[in-house]
Amino acid sequence: MDLTALRTAHPDHWNKAAAIRTLTLDAIHAANSGHSGMPMGMADVATVLYEKHLKFDAAAPNWPDRDRFILSAGHGSMLLYSLLYLTGYPEMTLEQIKNFRQWGAITAGHPEYGHAPGIETTTGPLGQGIATAVGFAMAEELQRARYGKKVVDHYTYVIAGDGCLMEGISQEAIAFAGRQQLGRLIVFWDNNNITIDGTVDLADRTDQIARFRASGWHVQDIDGHDPEAIDAAIEKAKATRKPSMIACKTHIALGSSAQDTSKGHGALTDPQLISDAKAAYGWTAPAFVIPDDIKAQWEAIGQRGAVERANWNVRFASLSERKQAEFTRAYDREVPKKLSATIRALKKQITETAPKLATRASSEKVLEVVNPLMVETVGGSADLTGSNNTKTADLGIFMPENRKGRYVHWGIREHGMAAAMNGMALHGGVRPYGGTFMAFTDYARPAMRLAALMRIPTVFVMTHDSIGLGEDGPTHQPVEHLAISRATPNTYVFRPADTVETAEAWEIALSAKETPSVLSLTRQGVPTLRLDHKINNLTAQGAYVLADATGKREAILIATGSEVSIAMAARDLLQAEGIGTRVVSMPCMELFAEQDEAYRRKVLPAGPVRVGVEAAVRAGGWDRWLLGERGREAKADFVGMEGFGASAPANVLYEKFGITAEATAAKVKALLGK
């Protein structure tokens, strides 16, 4: 491709874009790894976006009313790092660019949320960015409806590649955004026709324009190297009330000998290739050097938003003090002061009435008192509202006609829901939770992992959490899903035993600032076990003694959720035979692990035999508590599932799979040799 025409038509634009391209080449050469082609191909789009449209102030990267830019094609991370460096984000120094992909650098292989301001979300697993962006756009709508356009008035921009659009999650995002008419969402598709294996045509011939249009999007098709066309397309996209997709025909690895090839997708490190490409760009500066005039132009772009931000500050100050405080509190992920007292009052009421309730119904009871208090919560379900018990009367339905609605009908889209919830949490100001059946954790997994990695407090309400689901059978009965979430770092997995623990779990989940929560909730009714009202949140300790042994302590039963009442019944059987038995309820293994050694030792003293009870596989983190981390603590056994479930009424399944008080007592006695 002859670049001369491009260079001469828009020389200022060209040089700014060339700065991105050369920084990319230099950083990847230094790292000897990375993805050169995408930043080289999309530099023109990014330059026009940042220069003419993106509302931001590099000096105040967390300004709440900034536009969000999401690099869904996260492997092209050098595009983003270049932009942040060039526009003058203080953290993104040249040193960081030079240390691309090295230990300790904020310039990781893929953009990692939390590494530096300006990285709005972690991307890399393809399709996540575009689906997460849906949540950003929703949060903007919700906030705008609540606080007014004068303080909330921004766009969410996405660059997505062919990989993003092939991943199924993109369809969930596209269809949902279309239905919801998320007009502030603007997606640039890097239409370069290249994937790792070859041309896109190897695996796909989808007419992406027709596909987006079928879901109600505004679609344009442009030359992604023509700055005027890019500018005009963004103008049109901003004007429409529909979400917008701009198909940008680009050349991957533009201007290099690897242009338009799969090789160009990866790391271009050959010195000759690099110097030839730079020559084609008319670039003469040494590696990592941006000529002063070009850097100055970029820095001016980085400062462009300062005035607008100052004006915004004035407008924000015109909000009522109450509104300002609420806005700020929600952005800071602070719960209302009253939350704790509200939870306590509910706990007290429950200990007095001791209802038998499914913990999913308990969860609804909690939400009924929480949602009116926490105006920032946004609930939803992947088409299982009545089963997940996620909707409370006050929320209203989020719709184009009702942007104040705080309940989302996500459709049958667990993955898209989870990613969009992440987006809401990342945007700030709202606090998302959403439900599905626990077995379908599988569908939401990639986004749940990202929540943990990004350290954001998304709440996943996973009901029907065992064979207690009954007749729907093994496809719907989780057995390994507690294990999956517990094996994931930085994730709280709550399996509350009754309404009191459910309320405590919600309090922790909503108060968490950097940890997502999985609430594992039953379909079937369970009795209230916490009959003494305690002001303290016992669930926050992870595990505690629910009932101690009478007489000599010979056995400790450790159980979670619906199996705690089974452990209590087993204790009755054992005590009747004179076997002193403690029952430990363990609603959150991760929090128990965070307690000090003394407390853990107090709850689980060495000596007595231990039996764990959970209608799931033992691999779900049990051995640490049964055997002791370094071993030799106790003789132990486990009552749970060894394989998949079956289709039958729940009580039959518990009996057939041997998760009963009798089986538990028998295992204790076997360990004791009685």
Subset of residues 154 to 193 that bind a copy of itself, contact rule: CB under 8 A? 162-163, 166-172, 175-176, 178-179
Residue owning tokens 């003090």: 321
Is 444 within 8 Å of 500 (Cβ atoms)? no
Contacting residues for 667 by C-beta, under 8 A, at least 6 apart: 611, 637, 638, 639
Residue 517 binds to a copy of itself (criterion: CB under 8 A):
no
Q: Which of 5, 94, 300, 412 binds a copy of itself (CB under 8 A)?
A: 412
Tell me the torsion sign for CA atoms 592, 612, 446, 335: negative
Amino acid in the structure at residue 33: S
Residue 31 binds to a copy of itself (criterion: CB under 8 A):
yes
Q: What are the DSSP E strand ranges found in 465-548? A: 492-494, 517-521, 525-526, 544-547
Give the interface segment with a copy of itself, choosing from 312-320, 343-351, 565-573, 641-649 (CB under 8 A).
Answer: 641-649
Q: Which of 193, 269, 324, 490 binds a copy of itself (CB under 8 A)?
A: 490
Biggest CA pair distance of the chain: 93
Pick 348 or 553: Cβ nearer a copy of itself: 553
What is the chain's alpha carbon radius of gyration, rounded to the nearest angstrom?
28
3-class DSSP state of 118: coil
As a whole number of angstroms, the distance between CA 546 and CA 556 comes to 11
Residue 553 binds to a copy of itself (criterion: CB under 8 A):
no
Count Cβ atoms below 10 Å from residue 346 Cβ, excluding itself: 23
Residues known to be catalytic: 414
As a whole number of angstroms, the distance between CA 201 and CA 402 comes to 41
Residue 630 binds to a copy of itself (criterion: CB under 8 A):
yes
Residue 631 binds to a copy of itself (criterion: CB under 8 A):
yes
As a whole number of angstroms, the distance between CA 387 and CA 23 comes to 52
Give the interface segment with a copy of itself, choosing from 78-86, 545-553, 575-583, 651-659 (CB under 8 A).
Answer: 651-659
Q: Which of residues 285-344 bind a copy of itself (CB under 8 A)?
A: none
Pick 85 or 440: Cβ nearer a copy of itself: 440
Smallest CA-to-CA distance from 246 within 276, 199, 209 is with 209
Q: How many residues bind a copy of itself (CB under 8 A)?
A: 120
Pick 487 or 535: Cβ nearer a copy of itself: 487
Residue 252 sits at φ, ψ, to 5 deg, of -65, 140
Smallest CA-to-CA distance from 438 within 300, 296, 614, 577 is with 614
Residue 232 binds to a copy of itself (criterion: CB under 8 A):
no
Tell me how many degrees the CA angle 593-607-529 measures, rounded to the nearest 5.
60
As a whole number of angstroms, the distance between CA 431 and CA 394 comes to 16
Residue 74 binds to a copy of itself (criterion: CB under 8 A):
yes
Kindly state the tokens that stand for 493. Answer: 């997995």
Is 17 within 8 Å of 49 (Cβ atoms)? no
Residue 483 sits at φ, ψ, to 5 deg, of -60, -40
Q: Which of 479, 549, 584, 666 binds a copy of itself (CB under 8 A)?
A: 479
Is 110 within 8 Å of 124 (Cβ atoms)? yes
Tell me the torsion sign for CA atoms 343, 346, 347, 348: positive
Q: Which of 186, 301, 512, 653 binds a copy of itself (CB under 8 A)?
A: 653
3-class DSSP state of 461: strand
Pick 49 or 71: Cβ nearer a copy of itself: 71
Q: Provide the minimum distance between the beta carbon of 100 and a copy of itself in the complex, in angstroms, as a whole number.
A: 9
Pick 168 or 578: Cβ nearer a copy of itself: 168
Residue 580 sits at φ, ψ, to 5 deg, of -60, 125
Residue owning tokens 């050349």: 251
As a whole number of angstroms, the distance between CA 292 and CA 608 comes to 73
Residue 671 binds to a copy of itself (criterion: CB under 8 A):
yes
Which stretches within 516-622 are classed as H helix? 564-576, 589-594, 597-603
Pick 368 or 480: Cβ nearer a copy of itself: 480
Q: Which of 221, 270, 308, 472 binds a copy of itself (CB under 8 A)?
A: 472
Pick 118 or 266: Cβ nearer a copy of itself: 266
Residue 144 binds to a copy of itself (criterion: CB under 8 A):
no
Q: Provide the minimum distance between the beta carbon of 470 and a copy of itself in the complex, in angstroms, as a whole number.
A: 7
Give the interface segment with a copy of itself, choosing from 207-215, 338-346, 579-587, 594-602 (CB under 8 A).
Answer: 207-215
Q: Which of 91, 276, 308, 637 binds a copy of itself (CB under 8 A)?
A: 637
Q: Provide the minimum distance between the beta carbon of 77 and a copy of itself in the complex, in angstroms, as a whole number.
A: 9
Pick 124 or 305: Cβ nearer a copy of itself: 124
Q: Which of 12, 95, 204, 548 binds a copy of itself (CB under 8 A)?
A: 204
As a whole number of angstroms, the distance between CA 479 and CA 484 comes to 10
Pick 157 or 410: Cβ nearer a copy of itself: 410
Q: Provide the minimum distance between the beta carbon of 74 and a copy of itself in the complex, in angstroms, as a whole number.
A: 7
Q: Which of residues 416-445 bind a copy of itself (CB under 8 A)?
A: 416, 439-440, 442-443, 445
3-class DSSP state of 70: strand
* Interface mask toward a copy of itself for 233-272; x: CB under 8 A: ----------------------------------------
Q: Provide the minimum distance between the beta carbon of 106 and a copy of itself in the complex, in angstroms, as a whole number.
A: 10
Smallest CA-to-CA distance from 328 within 151, 456, 175 is with 151
Q: Which of residues 101-140 bind a copy of itself (CB under 8 A)?
A: 101-105, 108-110, 112, 122-127
Pick 302 or 416: Cβ nearer a copy of itself: 416
Amino acid in the structure at residue 421: M
Give the interface segment with a copy of itself, choosing from 213-221, 351-359, 457-465, 513-521 (CB under 8 A).
Answer: 213-221
What's the N-to-C CA distance of the chain in angstroms? 84
Q: Which of residues 354-383 bind a copy of itself (CB under 8 A)?
A: 381, 383
Q: Which of residues 606-625 bind a copy of itself (CB under 8 A)?
A: 617-621, 623-624
Q: Provide the minimum distance between the beta carbon of 27 and a copy of itself in the complex, in angstroms, as a whole number.
A: 12
